[in-house]
């Protein structure tokens, strides 16, 4: 399994549910969760094969910033 952690600017719980639904529509095997309590508003994605660029593109298209956390 691969795990990728992203820094986002997502602020609201209702937005996380929407974003997760959108990503899961394209990548149903991904395990996705947010940690809005973290200062970086973390998005964690776990899967056997991961496409970080696609995740970033989806969030950017929805109007959010997203970058792989180093």
pLDDT, one tens digit per residue, over 2-60 is 999 999 999 999 999 999 999 999 999 999 999 999 999 999 999 999 999 999 999 99
Q: pLDDT class for 70, splitting at 50, 70, 90?
A: confident
Instruction: Locate all alpha helices (DSSP H) within 5-67, ordered by sequence.
Output: 13-26, 52-61
**Three-class secondary structure of residue 33 per DSSP:** strand
Dihedral angle, C-alpha 61, 48, 7, 68, nearest 10 °: -90
């Amino acid at each position: 399994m691969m795990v990728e952690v992203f820094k986002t600017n997502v602020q609201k719980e209702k937005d996380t549910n929407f974003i997760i639904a959108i990503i899961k529509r394209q990548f149903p095997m991904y395990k996705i969760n947010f940690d809005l309590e973290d200062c970086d508003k973390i998005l964690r994605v776990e899967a056997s094969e991961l496409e970080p660029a696609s995740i970033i593109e989806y969030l950017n298209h929805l109007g959010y910033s997203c970058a792989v956390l180093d």
